[in-house]
Structure 1
Amino acid sequence: MKFEESLTLEFKRELTEGIKKEIIAFANTSGGDLYIGVDDDGSVVGLDNPKRILEDVSNIVHDSIQPDILMHTTLSIETIDDKDVVKISVSVGSRRPYHLKGKGLRPSGVFIRYGTSVTNASEENIRQMIIETDGTNFETMRSMEQDLTFTDAEAIFKKNGLSLLESNMRTLGIINAEGYYTNVGLLLSDQCEHTIKCARYVGVDKLEFQDRKEFTGSLLKQIESAFEYLSLHNEKNSAFKGLQRVEQESYPSYALREALINAATHRDYSFSSSTLIHIFTNRIELVSVGGLVKGLTQEDIELGISQSRNTKLANILYRLKWIESYGTGLQRILESYSKNSVQPFWSIGPNSFVVTLPKKDQTTRDEIDESLNNFLESKSSFTAKDLEIALNKSKSSVRKLLAELVNQNIINRIGNGPATRYKKSH
């Protein structure tokens, strides 16, 4: 009897280390049979001790291949042309991709069958097998990178009174039931492939950079670092309330924090691009990749209806108390601007969500009126520059205010040009 190798049939004269790759390739492709004791040309040479070979193959299957492939393999001794051979029947695995234990889900450890040959799977092959097996939910899919560390995440958990033991990792979905790190694990790990990029511009457009910063590592560390960067460039101005000196921020810290966490929590991580933060002189834009979750509208999210794209990540941030309650982020951002003349807004595209936070008026209208009245009472006459300094307002804002006051006959204008002064009407 003579055989011929094919996509689903392979021969080995004797047991070698290469048998691991053959079994993995069959399980990852179309299944098949492998005979040990048959030459490459199909000639049956037989085995002197088929029972020992059978035991060795069983150990190899158990010790060298992940996930567990035993349920997809059948080992037997057959007699062909009065000679004993070992037959290994492999069915298509249900937990593809199968791989060498020591290599993980890398091309060097994953194999597929191509014709009568075994070849390394490409990253795209591996990714497709993971999708076919785990589904398309990014969070629960096995991470292609399994050599993960969690130095920064552990420190942040500890700082918040939580631990990141293996049992907790399983509960949080960082590790799946088979012991693989999921993509949630990858996001929290020091090896996270996604980044947050910040850029500061001169003026109100993107023509000239002041500086750029890219945050890498654990997503948790990125969020912390990006918020520190935003806080560093959140200018503070002083004003007096009676005898009390009060510092006011250009942007409400709560709005910055909420917009940043929303951008990191709800973005679509199946896209490789970074979360972007643009800082202009009059606004901050936070660009999150992925648009709205399917089925939601802008009206829905503004009403507080919440459907997280990344429920496990959101749950982790909730446990860290970085998220206070689900579905309230945008409403709280609006509330933090409630006494401001300019309001935040968002723009939604098919694959993007942009939150724009305008630079805040440093004082409310009531505070401006109080400061203005005090100023007018204390000055017999004044210049526009005097009022700019007193109210800590921009030149254009003060010019507009002066025009209103003149029209309302609250103040009189004296002179023209650079010598122009103003005084309170009697």
Structure 2
Amino acid sequence: MASIENINIEFKEFENDTNKIPDSVCKTLVAFLNTEGGDLFIGIRNDGSVCGVKDADDASNRLSSIIHDSILPDASPFISIRTVEMDAKNIVKASVAVGTGRPYYLAKFGLKPGGVYTRLGNACVPMNESGIRNLMLETSGTSFEESRSFEQNLTFTVMKNEMSMRQLAFEQAQMETLKMVGTDKLFTNLAMLLSDQCTYTCKVAVFQGRDNATFRDRREFSGSILKQLNDVYEYLNNNNKTKASFTGLLREDTLDYPQDAIREALLNCLIHRDYLFCAGIIINVYDDHMEFISLGGLVRGLSMEAIQLGVSQSRNPNLAAIFYRLRLVESYGTGIRKIIRLYEDCPRKPVFRAVEGAFSCILPNRNEIVHYSQKQERIESTVGESIDSEKQSIMLLARQKGFISRKEVENLVGLKTTKAFRLLKELCDEGQLTQQVSGKFTRYIPLPLS
């Protein structure tokens, strides 16, 4: 036996006066179960000296009860307890194999950071949420949806109401069919997403202008993703302004964004995002566009071209099936094509971008496009009128004097040399002036009016 503690050896001193097994024993056993296994020796001090256990049988029974009551899932098949003798003293040795039901956790803390431990050198360290999820997926080989939820105290007020509105039953049998409950009768992550205790959120920011320099408002929506769907959709529609136009006496109202496009973009974020990422969905609303950003990117093997053709491979098929059952989606693979179709008559089209770890959908503001076009037309019209006025001033002076120079044009209309040359050239091309060069001097002579 090694005389020092390491990744798979741990010493614990037994309190012979109180016959108490140290509280940290459970933490060590959980860490061994979740890592490489190991041997726990009760009756040896941290420095390797043997203090022994007075009543080894009683200590073994106490340890067996602690394992049964304090560690979940059941770790008994992976831990063997025996009494060994060292330095003429009895020691309780617990040999731990790697558990097949990882992650193991302390029952009083639950399947969450603070309850799940792993072994790092000779220390037991708590695992973060990302590490726990990865261990669950590695052990079970199942998807995020079908893995056990950290939180098991779940309620389903919103889910029950949604099912009831559609006259659908929602009892234990339905929860098992929908894969909200696993074969171990514990809630899955799918159940957590639909529960009132859902840990994921959706963040919405409304900006002034076309960039994120100035906030108008920001909100974070929580609760069941069904509640988030309803709340975020309502909030976005409240920020979806209407522009009125008239054809004769007929008034026509046009929303900035097609409501169905908002709906499809939001559903796409909720159904297809990668929930292994803890961050929330981000929606940014600007004066000229609305941007939806979800985590996860495209499912491996799919391209943007395939997605726009209607190919569908859901990252969360069980969640998609529930949304379909609730009649929130029509069929798989139609969302993006529907958004594109809603903008067929619009000069600016929706933009879909996929990068490593994220997917975004940008919806143009239809009324901002019209406003911008009209503004550009006004600018172009004003510029045209300004140029005509400048040319008229040049020709008036040229006819009064019989000629005009480039320097006189600059002084007359306050132009720089380049623009003065350009205007004089245009007047020559139009047949109103002719260029006359005399040595170093160039002047422009007005042609007779036809």
TM-score by length of 1: 0.73
Q: Deviation per CA, 1:267-326, whole angstroms, max 9, x where unpaired?
A: 222333332222233332222222221111111111110011222221221122111100
* Counterpart residue number, 2:238: 232
1:220 paired with 2:226, answer yes
Offset of residue 349 of structure 1: 2.6
Greater C-alpha radius of gyration: 2
Matched position secondary structure for 2:366 = coil
Q: Deviation per CA, 1:251-276, whole angstroms, max 9, x where unpaired?
A: 22111111111122112223333322
Identify if the C-alpha distance between structure 1 residues 39 and 188 changes in structure 2 by more than 3 Å, giving closer, same or farther: same
Offset of residue 95 of structure 1: 2.0
* Counterpart residue number, 1:67: 73
Identify if the C-alpha distance between structure 1 residues 398 and 104 changes in structure 2 by more than 3 Å, giving closer, same or farther: closer
Q: Is the 8 A contact 2:149 2:188 kept in 1?
A: yes
* Counterpart residue number, 2:32: 26
- Counterpart residue type for residue 126 of structure 2: A
- Counterpart residue type for residue 115 of structure 2: G
Matched position secondary structure for 1:201 = strand
* Counterpart residue number, 1:285: 291
Q: Is the 8 A contact 2:13 2:22 kept in 1?
A: no
Q: Deviation per CA, 1:1-43, whole angstroms, max 9, x where unpaired?
A: x984634444554552534334323222332334556677554
Question: In the TM superposition, what are the counterparts of 1:408-419 in structure 2 within 5 Å?
Answer: none
Q: Deviation per CA, 1:374-417, whole angstroms, max 9, x where unpaired?
A: xxxxxxxxxxxxxxxxxxx759549959x99xxxxxxxxxxx99
Matched position secondary structure for 1:178 = coil
Offset of residue 151 of structure 1: 3.6
Matched position secondary structure for 1:259 = helix
Gaps of 5+ in 2: 382-387, 390-450
Question: In the TM superposition, what are the counterparts of 1:261-410 in structure 2 within 5 Å?
Answer: 261-360=267-366, 394=371, 396-397=373-374
Residues of 2 paired with 1:293 and 1:90: CA distance? 38
Q: Deviation per CA, 1:345-395, whole angstroms, max 9, x where unpaired?
A: 323333332222223369xxxxxxxxxxxxxxxxxxxxxxxxxxxxxx759
Q: Is the 8 A contact 2:221 2:231 kept in 1?
A: yes
* Counterpart residue number, 1:16: 21
* Counterpart residue number, 2:109: 103
* Counterpart residue number, 1:119: 124
Offset of residue 72 of structure 1: 0.8
Q: Deviation per CA, 1:161-220, whole angstroms, max 9, x where unpaired?
A: 345544433333333333444333333333433322222233333333322222122222
Question: In the TM superposition, what are the counterparts of 1:137-216 in structure 2 within 5 Å?
Answer: 137-216=143-222
Identify if the C-alpha distance between structure 1 residues 396 and 299 changes in structure 2 by more than 3 Å, giving closer, same or farther: closer
Q: Deviation per CA, 1:47-78, whole angstroms, max 9, x where unpaired?
A: 5472x554443333222210111221224456
- Counterpart residue type for residue 262 of structure 1: N
Matched position secondary structure for 1:285 = strand
Residues of 2 paired with 1:197 and 1:161: CA distance? 31
Q: Is the 8 A contact 1:139 1:310 kept in 2?
A: yes
Residues of 2 paired with 1:49 and 1:349: CA distance? 60
* Counterpart residue number, 1:408: none
- Counterpart residue type for residue 109 of structure 1: G
Identify if the C-alpha distance between structure 1 residues 15 and 290 changes in structure 2 by more than 3 Å, giving closer, same or farther: same
Q: Is the 8 A contact 1:65 1:99 kept in 2?
A: yes
Matched position secondary structure for 1:278 = strand
Residues of 1 paired with 2:332 and 2:118: CA distance? 44
Q: Is the 8 A contact 2:166 2:326 kept in 1?
A: yes
Matched position secondary structure for 2:180 = coil
Gaps of 5+ in 1: 363-392, 405-415, 418-426
Identify if the C-alpha distance between structure 1 residues 178 and 5 changes in structure 2 by more than 3 Å, giving closer, same or farther: farther
Residues of 2 paired with 1:127 and 1:223: CA distance? 25
Q: Is the 8 A contact 1:44 1:81 kept in 2?
A: no
Residues of 2 paired with 1:23 and 1:263: CA distance? 40
Aligned length, in residue pairs: 372
Q: Is the 8 A contact 2:295 2:357 kept in 1?
A: yes
- Counterpart residue type for residue 64 of structure 1: S
Q: Is the 8 A contact 1:341 1:361 kept in 2?
A: no
Q: Is the 8 A contact 1:108 1:120 kept in 2?
A: no
* Counterpart residue number, 1:6: 5
Q: Is the 8 A contact 2:151 2:192 kept in 1?
A: yes
Identify if the C-alpha distance between structure 1 residues 3 and 156 changes in structure 2 by more than 3 Å, giving closer, same or farther: same
Say what the alpha-carbon RMSD is for the aligned residues.
3.8
Matched position secondary structure for 1:315 = helix
Identify if the C-alpha distance between structure 1 residues 113 and 199 changes in structure 2 by more than 3 Å, giving closer, same or farther: closer
Residues of 2 paired with 1:250 and 1:30: CA distance? 58
- Counterpart residue type for residue 6 of structure 1: E
- Counterpart residue type for residue 274 of structure 1: G
* Counterpart residue number, 1:57: 63
Q: Is the 8 A contact 1:5 1:11 kept in 2?
A: no
* Counterpart residue number, 1:130: 136
Percent identity of equivalent pairs: 38
